[in-house]
Structure 1
Amino acid sequence: MMASDTSTSLDQSDNTEEIKALASYLEDIHPPTKKSLIDLKNPELYINRELSFLQFNWRVLQQALDEDLPLLERIRFIFIFSNNLDEFFEVRVASLVHWANHHPERLGPDGLTPLQALAEISKTCHEMVTEQYRIFNDVLLPQLATVNIHFLRRSLWTDKQAQWIKDYFINEVAPVISPIGLDLAHPFPRLVNKSLHFIVALEGKDAFGRESDFAVVHMPRSLPRIIQLPKHLCRKGDNFVFLSAIIHANAEELFPGMKVKGCYQFRLTRDSDLFVDEDDVEDLANALKLELQSRDFGTSVRLELADNCPDKIAQFLLQKCNLTEQELYRVNGPVNLNRLLSLSDMVERPELKFKSFTPSVPKLLRAKSSSIFSVLKQHDILLHHPYQSFESVVNFIRSAAADPDVLAIKQTLYRSGSSSPVVEALIDAARSGKEVTAVVELRARFDEQANIEFANKLQDAGALVVYGVVGYKTHAKLCVVTRREKKKLRHYTHLGTGNYHAGTAKLYTDVGLLTANKKLCDDAQRVFLQLTGMGKAYDMKLMLQAPFTLHSGLINLIDQEILHKRAGKEGVIKLRMNSLTEATLIEKLYEASQAGVEIDLIIRGICCLRPGLKNISDNIRVRSIVGRFLEHSRVFYFANNGEPQVFASSADLMDRNLYHRVETCFPVTDEKLAKRLVSETIDIYLQDNSQSWELHSDGRYIKNVAVDGETPIRAQKYLLDHICPSSD
């Protein structure tokens, strides 16, 4: 069946009426069982959102212990763990601190107050950070040494190495830092978020006769955190020293004539979420620029400090940072391990890294004789990144930019990167006279500055740039191309689960659909009209859309499975996403489980649902995959009594996605592509017995391990082996 002739069976209005009719019929012939007396809103049925995230980050950390992974990749997971934890404190912990200060009585679905949640977070994070440094110091560094990658402690430096390091300090480090002695004229400095600092304990008087107990030394981000020693100074292998060791060894060079009694590294983490009152600003871009200037100086939420720092100095820093012991994290090693990510690039050891791979290109897109638009008239094309090349999406937009019959391109941009081929293609299209509309989400967290910059470039090229809808982030991933064909206009559309970011498309798993399906294209066009214009929400033919129909549509689809099961038919739901937190949907899934519906959930990160609870979630299984690629696809499967309905979505099942963002959830109507999508994004993951983790009802995740005689299956490796070598 050609995409443009797809059946209308998925029309949302028709679907809703079918469910209502089925429900009425079933009540007559098969009355529902008496409603459960169990209160499905009971807080004990819900896992705390923040603690669930920390469980996910724990799974990331455990990758560093997986000896089936290349050694330098295991190091990389240590750094990813650190980066995740940074953002967690900057955003989630900072938010809880705000609630604790202003609404301490506020309860989440799990029943915890903000203060209770913060106490649990502190306990868990302290345990996790201790384990992180244990793995780094006691497992990974010794294993690096066995392959001749060495981090040299000061006590092991030879005289020649020490002299080279001192020269490096004098020539490369000292000229770009400014020590601040603390006295009446130099009060404690305003510390920049996540910047490395040293507090130095001093004794004696300086050239002006001043005495100071302490000084603070700030390390600019331009300075590398690990430095490679020249080969001629080392016996063998690659040899590195930490910047912190260089500072410690040469601190007295910064304070001539004074005695350095101690030098201790520390780092302060601050609230980095931006707040702009969108109802009270005339120019969102300018308002965000002003907010970005103050991002580095938000409320303090965490202090990381060398574990050998005396308690007296630690208390001094806590007092200056307005923090308590609960927010103090003593670390046995370099502060901020995620800055050591550069190690992999500094070492030419391919055997210690993942093997490179070449993403495949769908066979239909490889023919040079046919344009992409002629192909899409006949076939939908499903793309599965990173196993299939993101260049297919870029080429779709480039082809539109170069095609004289294309009149307009409309594109959402959430995260695109600082150097984006998609943005460049849109700029080319605008300069060639096409109508280009870009809906740029300026509030994409930590990408605000980059988005402002490429929005300005698009405007300079003549594109119409809009910033979405006040109060709602535009998180939908879609592009609509309008082309004149035989005196008629026709739309072509790309819909996806991931950002239009060529970099992350190599690291994240996502799916996309290229289609000329008239109903899907018309729905996508309506989304853009809502984003750029004014008026009531459009009725969608095939799509579900947040904040209007996605939540209710998913509820209806779950109800459909419940009704089928109660009628003695098959009831199956398979959902994969990044996070599940929305309480009403969780409650509905509990209800479906109680009705006997079989439910498999593949959730990479946060899951607030408790599976395996007797008489509540016996029929729900939850697993998480952590591997080489960040699992990012959202795919929803409903068995529908033998006529499966399969959707892909830009949205996770979280309150923010369902109620406070513009999101799209689109059906894959081609039966062959729908089967392939479920096979590649759900079924193979349910077979994974090497990198999958099962969630238990107590909130713990247990890793699946292949038993004797069972073939080990890693879903991501399976897909690399079966998709990348193939061109189909």
Structure 2
Amino acid sequence: MDKKVKDEESEATPLIDRGAQFLNRELSLLEFNRRVLAQAEDERVPLLERLRFLCIVSSNLDEFFEVRVASLLAQHAIERGLERMPEPLAATLLRASEECRRLIARQYGLLNSEILPRLSENGIHMLRRSDRNPAQKAWVKQYFDKEVRPLLTPVGLDPAHPFPRVINKSLNFIVELSGKDAFGRGTAIAIMKVPRVLPRVIRLPDELSDQKGASYCLLSSVIQAHLPELFTGREVVASSQFRVTRNSDLWVDEEEVKNLRQALQSELHSRQYGFAVRLEVGLDCPAHLSGFLSQQFGIDDSRVFAVDGPVNMGRLLEIVNTSSQPELKFAPYAPGFPAKLNPNDIFGTLARQDVLLHHPFQSFQPVLDFIHAASSDPNVVAIKQTIYRAGMNSELVEALISAAQRGKEVTVIVELMARFDEEANINWAEKLEAAGAQVVYGVVGLKTHAKMALVLRREASGLRRYAHLGTGNYNPATARHYSDIGLLTSDASLTADVNEVFIHLTSMTKPKQLSCMWLAPFSLQKELVRAILQEGAIAREGKPGRIIAKMNSLTDETVIRALYDASCDGVKIDLIVRGACSLRPGVPGLSANIKVRSIVGRFLEHTRIFYFRNNLKHDIYLSSADWMNRNLLRRIEITFPVSSPALKKRLLREGLQPYLNDNVSAWELDSNGQYRRRKPRSGQKPYEAQKALMEMLGASASEDPQKENEHGPDPVAPRRSRSRGA
């Protein structure tokens, strides 16, 4: 592991962009994938989990091209037309392609030289054509004839058979032929699309194997072995699998359409045929065939990638998910449940105190219980909720449907433009409307990314509001794998603000001045900058200034400049940024008092927590928003305070301090944009934040998370900062 990390650092190059103040966002995203890949390289990680991390890298790179690269290319097309691409943009795209090429080479090298051989040693065999014994070859032949061949339709290219439309990220083959076709013509190239209904990973019958364990083969290998049978009387000179990645952004003129849902439904199909941004071919694909494909798709050679394995490595996740060898995976983890929250008396508990939930270390079930209780409680008269990514099967949305059917007033803000979840959200919107719920789609031109649910309950004292606010989506499946924090509360000021936000979203009226929440795109960026600069003003008075913030991405230049100013004023700033970070830390005279680290581990870090010391007021906010321009100015986002001293202490001890003390899964960012993995110093015990939180909050934990636990130094204790402007 040490050598691999060293090699990774040595091949990394600075990500300086736009003068000396900011790091390049796209290259920073690729740096994040280096850190994910390092998990696959780490021999301490169970073998099948290492394969999972390899697949995650593939999925991330898919989205990088579908979204980021496509966005840059589309921006150029809109702004410049057919003129030559501006040099900075061309340089970024070229550099990104070069970095992707390095990543992919390492990824497939690890798969072929280590992961697959080690899996075979443990009874999981991925068989190439040459690996299959006679009995297996016969079975594969029969499988091809019965299950595969009837669904294949090769197209020989000629004026009557033009190049077919190829679906985004689908498996295809290009075949070069010699000899004459049935009509005496010498068609040279055929294209064959592989239907998506066919499984990409096939398990062979165990009784046919010479080895113990499970044997698999890839559909691409099965087809490749029997290609000649599809071209009777012709000779297959060369062939290759290929896969094209297309722009996946959906565009709907929200100001022109009368029904966004209907417009989006018709637009979903077109996503499969957006303009091409990347081409993947097999490593053995002849140059003239890959050149022919790149010409057909209009793809620059810099975005053509030859891979030594399946063109979609992500398909190997099927092996991870179906394997019956738990010893090759992370040990099962049972999340904890708040002892003070009685699922049979949720509203009674919340009337007395707020409840903080830290997922996935604590169960997401209390959130479901909250909505179920609201649905069934006869005293509850109304429920309002936002839905961003609920998933295809959602117990929570079913509870909202049940509440509407019971005659409660149910209002749901469904974000139809949640990328890659549009279809699921459209389906839920239709079912909610059919049940009698009022469904709206947020604000024209702005995605509703806020995570909030509001319950209005009739009690002896009158109507009382209860709310759930969170940093993550209402999706129980992802809540088992993403770190997020939720707050259940009946605080009058906070729930009044939540109600005002819902009124704003449904009525389109200008939101009233909120008492404690920050709302994007109206006040959030301004309030963040104010809080940051306030710490600078405190530091200029000779008092300790302190900021700790945890988020997924940091790219908003206005916020970054405020952080630079605060650093120059002497404020000590620690940033825990999982993914892209455009801020350059540790630069004398600019950011000498700023440290940036990233945590990559078993769970995806997704929490947004912002701490400002503020003259010992210890202000802590939770948020749905990252510090990105899109979140602060082009989305509906909420940032809300935590007022309970006990819960503030919990957030410091659970949400921030463990991540600052991590010396196993933490990567520190230097001023050139390079990340270096932390290691325990001599005599220092290894400390892994996620592992510590599992032990602290899991079902078997003996500790009460409300208690003050020691997990290293106090993260907010004043510490001498570098001189102002140094």
Q: TM-score, normalised by structure 1?
A: 0.92
**Correspondence for 1:575:** 549
- Residues 618-637 of structure 1, C-alpha deviation per residue, up to 9 Å, x if partnerless? 11000001111111010000
The 5 Å alignment of 1:318-717 reads 318-366=294-342, 368=344, 371-486=345-460, 488-717=462-691
Q: Is the 8 A contact 1:104 1:113 kept in 2?
A: no
- Distance in 2 between residues matched to 1:265 and 1:711, nearest whole Å: 49
Find the residue that maps to 2:513 and give its secondary structure: coil
- Distance in 1 between residues matched to 2:243 and 2:582, nearest whole Å: 31
Query: Which amino acid letter does the alignment assign opposite residue 409 of structure 1?
Result: I
**Correspondence for 2:106:** 131
User: Unpaired segments of 5 or more residues in structure 2?
Assistant: 1-15, 705-726
Find the residue that maps to 1:382 and give its secondary structure: strand
- Distance in 1 between residues matched to 2:491 and 2:396, nearest whole Å: 23
Tell me how far 1:346 sits from its aligned partner.
3.0
Query: Which amino acid letter does the alignment assign opposite residue 101 of structure 2?
Result: H
Q: Is the 8 A contact 1:100 1:115 kept in 2?
A: no
Tell me how far 1:41 sits from its aligned partner.
11
Find the residue that maps to 2:118 and give its secondary structure: helix
Q: 1:231 and 2:214 equivalent?
A: no
- Residues 598-648 of structure 1, C-alpha deviation per residue, up to 9 Å, x if partnerless? 000000001000001012111100000111111101000001121200000
Find the residue that maps to 2:220 and give its secondary structure: helix
Count of residue pairs the alignment pairs up? 682
- Distance in 2 between residues matched to 1:183 and 1:582, nearest whole Å: 51
Find the residue that maps to 1:640 and give its secondary structure: coil
- Distance in 2 between residues matched to 1:72 and 1:612, nearest whole Å: 38
- Distance in 2 between residues matched to 1:422 and 1:484, nearest whole Å: 22
Q: 1:197 and 2:172 equivalent?
A: yes
- Residues 117-164 of structure 1, C-alpha deviation per residue, up to 9 Å, x if partnerless? 111111111111111111111121122122122222222222222111
Find the residue that maps to 1:588 and give its secondary structure: helix
- Residues 282-308 of structure 1, C-alpha deviation per residue, up to 9 Å, x if partnerless? 110111111111111011100001111
- Distance in 2 between residues matched to 1:434 and 1:592, nearest whole Å: 49
- Distance in 1 between residues matched to 2:322 and 2:392, nearest whole Å: 23
Query: Which amino acid letter does the alignment assign opposite residue 499 of structure 1?
Result: N
Q: Is the 8 A contact 1:46 1:608 kept in 2?
A: yes
Query: Which amino acid letter does the alignment assign opposite residue 493 of structure 2?
Result: K
The 5 Å alignment of 1:219-368 reads 219-235=194-210, 236-366=212-342, 368=344
- Distance in 2 between residues matched to 1:209 and 1:161, nearest whole Å: 37
Query: Which amino acid letter does the alignment assign opposite residue 557 of structure 2?
Result: A
Q: Is the 8 A contact 2:238 2:286 kept in 1?
A: no
Find the residue that maps to 1:426 and give its secondary structure: helix
- Residues 460-489 of structure 1, C-alpha deviation per residue, up to 9 Å, x if partnerless? 000000011111110000000001111511
**Correspondence for 1:21:** none
The 5 Å alignment of 1:161-176 reads 161-176=136-151
- Distance in 1 between residues matched to 2:657 and 2:87, nearest whole Å: 36
Shifted more, 191-200 versus 41-50: the winner is 41-50
Query: Which amino acid letter does the alignment assign opposite residue 326 of structure 1?
Result: S
Q: Is the 8 A contact 1:99 1:114 kept in 2?
A: no
Find the residue that maps to 2:226 and give its secondary structure: helix
Tell me how far 1:211 sits from its aligned partner.
3.0
Q: Is the 8 A contact 1:104 1:114 kept in 2?
A: no
User: Unpaired segments of 5 or more residues in structure 1?
Assistant: 1-39, 106-110
Q: 1:91 and 2:67 equivalent?
A: yes
- Distance in 1 between residues matched to 2:89 and 2:455, nearest whole Å: 47
Tell me how far 1:367 sits from its aligned partner.
6.4
Q: Is the 8 A contact 2:343 2:366 kept in 1?
A: no
- Distance in 1 between residues matched to 2:343 and 2:523, nearest whole Å: 39
- Distance in 2 between residues matched to 1:112 and 1:558, nearest whole Å: 35
Segments of 4+ moved more than 4 angstroms? none
**Correspondence for 2:11:** none
Query: Which amino acid letter does the alignment assign opposite residue 47 of structure 1?
Result: L
- Residues 27-81 of structure 1, C-alpha deviation per residue, up to 9 Å, x if partnerless? xxxxxxxxxxxxx996311001111101011111111011111000000001000
Q: 1:141 and 2:119 equivalent?
A: no
- Distance in 2 between residues matched to 1:206 and 1:164, nearest whole Å: 30
- Distance in 2 between residues matched to 1:473 and 1:100, nearest whole Å: 24
Q: Identity of counterpart residues, as a percentage?
A: 50
Query: Which amino acid letter does the alignment assign opposite residue 386 of structure 1?
Result: P
Q: TM-score, normalised by structure 2?
A: 0.92
Distance 1:85 1:163, change over 3 A: same
Q: Is the 8 A contact 1:289 1:449 kept in 2?
A: yes
- Distance in 2 between residues matched to 1:156 and 1:474, nearest whole Å: 52
- Residues 379-403 of structure 1, C-alpha deviation per residue, up to 9 Å, x if partnerless? 1000001111111001101100101
Find the residue that maps to 1:365 and give its secondary structure: coil
**Correspondence for 1:44:** 20
